[in-house]
Amino acid sequence: MASRRSEIRQAALWGTAELVIRYVVQFGTTIALARLIAPDAFGLVAMVLVFTAFGSVLVDSGSGMALVQRQHTTPTEETTVFVGNLAIALVVSALLWVAAPAIATFYGRPELTSFVKWMSLIFPLNALAVVPDALLTQRMHFRIRTRVELASSVASSAVAIVIAARGGQAWALVAQAISSIAMRALALWFFSGWRPAARPSLHAARSLWSFGGVVLLLGVMDTLATRLQAVVIGKLFPARDLGYYTLAQNSQQAPASFVAAVLNRVGLPVLARVKEDRAVLGKALRDGLLTSTLLFMPAMVMLGVLARPAVELVYGPAWLPAAPLLAVLALSTILWPSHVLNLAAINAIGRPALNLRLEFMKKGVAILLLALAAPHGVMAVAWSTVVASVAAFGVNTWYAGGLFNLGMRRQGTDLLYSISAAIPAGIVAHVTASRFDTPLMACAVGAVSGVACYLACCVILRHPALTPLIALIKRK
């Protein structure tokens, strides 16, 4: 038991380190590119990323998650996933290449044709990385993943910045996307040491598809609900507006994606190892929810409250129209840890079909809200994500109550600790930040005062996750 706890602790540390490196480099690159590239160029590439996101989901086809969930896989299963993914990738790449002119016509932007054709290279490159990536995650070899992410992130960021500095505009973003995937695939092959060692099998494919097929549909629905916003905004409004929304969304999603990646990368393997004991799994889920919410909620509240000075400081005055969008999108993400961990727990017990049912309901609501909001402007689209987030929390916790004895009432009660501390913290941050004219001082003083208020409120309220977290830090 002690060795397992040590293994999990080391996996969590290296998994977190890997993701910190990735997101720090990506965030730094976004800052640099935002000062070199116009909002219109960001909007143009966002139009293309809608289609590459769908293609990437199809290429993975849920098979990577299936390998992770199984814990122990055979060379036949691994080779089957590799061959299947590569075949799908080549088909998807060819289809996107052929569809490039039609996509450009849809948006009324002829220059998109070249962008789409180049971005179609992403799919076969991504297919090469699926199995090595899944096996390293399955075996909790996050130290190797950290090296891979460091090498690929730094190299692709350097490529993008050099091209942008030479006036490449949108081409810098295209080059970054392609080079990042290519370098990551090469690094995973080099560091993982995995190579196909068997023949693909239809039996293995069917077995993996029982789990991976549902995960594929989940990914398609998630991508549809998220990327459909870009399609609607790109079609109805100027590319500049999509550029502002994309920057705000990327800024909001940076911490959200980081937390989701940590919780999925470490949470799924950990929860899968205790899946036979529902009581232990339920306790692990509750502990994870309490701790992740304690840490995540103040970050999103500070991001929302300080959106205007933060955007001006980080991206420059030209991007200020993105600040109100960022404030609303940050609000929509405060329940994100609950969403991620509840679904991870359901996947851990091998119930992807239930996740599929949940996603149908949640994404259906999100798409309906988007359709109602779109005619009223980009800000209305942002607010639709807030309502969709609340609806998703209700759906997730309703089913978690029956599976893990951790339903809406218990999770909501736990959540109130962080919410009760975050509200006064947000007020304090806003009031103190408004006293300063310079964005640097507004962000610094606002964030420090807000976080201090949050921690004080957590102590006063006796937040259940605070004492275990302090004890864990002291042991380190």
Encode pLDDT of 454-464 as tens digits: 999 999 988 88
- Domain identity same for 107 and 46: yes
- Domain identity same for 317 and 207: no
- Domain identity same for 55 and 136: yes
CA distances from 448 to 168, 292, 352, 430 (A): 38, 20, 42, 11
- Domain identity same for 392 and 448: yes
Complete DSSP assignment for 61-99: TTHHHHHHHHSS--HHHHHHHHHHHHHHHHHHHHHHHHH
Does the structure show a pLDDT above 90 at 204?
no
Encode pLDDT of 379-403 as tens digits: 999 999 999 999 988 888 887 766 6
- Domain identity same for 255 and 230: no
The residue out of 194, 216, 236 marking a domain boundary is 236
Taking the mean position of all CA atoms in its chain, how far away is CA 275?
24
Q: Which residue range forms the structural domain that includes residue 317?
A: 238-476
Q: What pLDDT score was predicted for residue 2?
A: 46
The residue out of 236, 269, 304 marking a domain boundary is 236
DSSP single-letter state for residue 38: -
Q: What is the mean pLDDT of residues 421-442?
A: 93
- Domain identity same for 260 and 404: yes
The residue out of 236, 269, 287 marking a domain boundary is 236
- Domain identity same for 377 and 360: yes
Rounded-to-integer distance, Cα 152 and Cα 156, Å: 6
Q: What is the mean pLDDT of residues 243-253?
A: 88
Burial class (CB in 10 A: 0-12, 13-18, 19+), 402: exposed
Q: Give the pLDDT band of residue 438 (cuts 50, 70, 90).
A: very high
Q: Give the pLDDT band of residue 1 (cuts 50, 70, 90).
A: very low
- Domain identity same for 454 and 439: yes
Does the structure show a pLDDT above 60 at 265?
no
Q: Could you tell me where the DSSP H helices lie in 332-407?
A: 336-348, 352-373, 378-404
- Domain identity same for 212 and 316: no
Helix (H, G, I), strand (E, B) or coil at 30: helix
Q: What is the mean pLDDT of residues 99-104?
A: 91
Q: Which residue has the tokens 């942008």?
A: 164
**Greater model confidence, 30 or 59:** 30
**Lowest-pLDDT range of 109-118, 232-241, 249-258:** 249-258
Q: Count how many residues are written for the chain.
A: 476
Q: What pLDDT score was predicted for residue 10?
A: 58
- Domain identity same for 158 and 76: yes
% the chain with pLDDT above 70:
76
pLDDT, averaged across the chain? 80
Inter-axis angle of helices 323-331 and 278-305, to 10 degrees?
A: 160
Q: What pLDDT score was predicted for residue 69?
A: 62
**Greater model confidence, 460 or 4:** 460
- Domain identity same for 135 and 250: no
Taking the mean position of all CA atoms in its chain, how far away is CA 238?
26
- Domain identity same for 16 and 31: yes
Q: Give me the amino acid identity at 169.
A: Q
Helix (H, G, I), strand (E, B) or coil at 413: helix
Does the structure show a pLDDT above 90 at 323?
yes
Q: What pLDDT score was predicted for residue 322?
A: 94
Question: What's the domain count of the chain?
Answer: 2
